Structure formats: structure tokens, C-alpha cells
Copies of this chain bind each other. A is one copy, B any other.
Amino acid sequence: MKLYSYWRSTTSYRVRIALHLKGLAFETIPVDLVKGEQRADEYLPVNPGKGVPALVLDDGTVLTQSLAILEYLDQAHPDPALLPANPIERAKVQAAAQVIALDVHPVNNLRVGQKLKAMGHDQDEVVAWMNHWMSEGFTAFQAMIRPDTKFCFGDTPGLADLCLVAQLYNAHRWGTDLTPFKRLTKIEQLCLALPAFDAARPENQPDAG
């Protein structure tokens, strides 16, 4: 498989973690979001959504959108599972993951920051914007995960954990106040001690700057 990825993209980070957790070999094809390579004519057939990640399967099929890719990987390569089989438990894990994947990340995406700057806001205002949505999202997320488990929903990391760890990378980068989120940073610490998470870290990618 090949993964179109950008080292600092948190959606790419989620998929990298899943690939490593499941022991799947892949080649990284870097797409430099800051240079705008995701908007290049030659990238459009890969992903009309002009973003990363995009996963190219061995038969040439291209899959886009990190949550769709993650669910595909979990169906095609079920061990270890990212999602529980029980429909209600599954929906609860997905809902927590989606607080990060829908309520936080899209509003803080690079293109949204660039749009805010085009509307006259400076870097400090963009950072305050990002931190606002992260604080709101982490508050909801922390209330939605299980209070008594090692990882978000059990003894092994799953979909919610990998969305969390990737988003916390941004939180550290932009100085979000994480004091109220001790359980989340504890889970992050446990995750990052695992080789699969470590291999997927932004700074361990071939295109890291």
C-alpha cells in the first residue's frame, strides 16, 4: 500500500497509527500541504477533496477521508480491532472519535487557518481560534470516554485513542491549556510508549521538517 501523507497532518497521523498497529507495510508519499501540493492538478485524480491522507491499495484503488480509511482497514484487517463489534459500543467509540474528527479538526484545518488570515486575522488570533475548539472538544471527549479503563474504552488502544493522540500533537504545538485534561494526557503517554504510535509520530516521518 501507499499512503499520501503530510508529516504534521493529524488525519494522516491517525491512519499511520492504524497501519502500524495492524502491522501493515506501506510506502509514504509525502504531500507538502504548506506548499499547496494537495491542490496541484496531478493530485486531483488521487483526491478531489484536495487533502491528505489518501491510501492506495495494492490493486490501485484509492481511498480518501481518514475515518473511511480507518473503518476500511478495520474491516479488511480486523486484528487488532479499532472498533468493538457490538453496534452500541461501536457507536459510542465512534461518537467520541467524531468529537475530535468532526467538531475539532475540520474547524482547525490548515485551509481554515489560511482562510481566517485572508480575512484579516493574524497568527495569534488563529491560534486562539484553534485552542478554543480544542478546549471545547477535549471537554466533551473526556466526558464521553470510559472513566475506568487504561485507554479510552478498554485495555487496548482503538479509534478514539488514535484520534486523540493525533489531535494532542496539535494541542502541544499551539499551547492549548491541557490542565483540565489529565486523563487525556495520561492516555497519550501510554499510547506514545507503544511502537506503533511512536513510528507514526510526525517527527518520525520521511518528510518531517
Task: Please give the residue numbers on chain A whose beta carbons come within 8 Å of chain B beta carbons, in ascending order.
Answer: 48-51, 57, 61, 63-65, 67-69, 71-72, 75-76, 87-88, 90-92, 94-95, 98-99, 101-103, 105-107, 109, 112, 115, 119, 121, 125, 129, 132, 136, 139-140, 143-144
Q: What is the oligomeric copy number? A: 2
Contact B103 A103, beta carbon cutoff 8 Å: no
Q: Contact check: which of B51, B75, B87, B129 meets A115 at CB < 8 Å?
A: B129
Q: Chain B contacts of A140 at CB under 8 A? A: 48-50
Main DSSP-derived SS at the A contact region: helix
Q: Contact check: which of B69, B88, B91, B107 meets A106 at CB < 8 Å?
A: B107
A90–B73 CA distance with the chains assembled, in angstroms: 12
Q: Write the nearest CB–CB distance from A108 to chain B, whole angstroms.
A: 10
Contact B95 A65, beta carbon cutoff 8 Å: yes
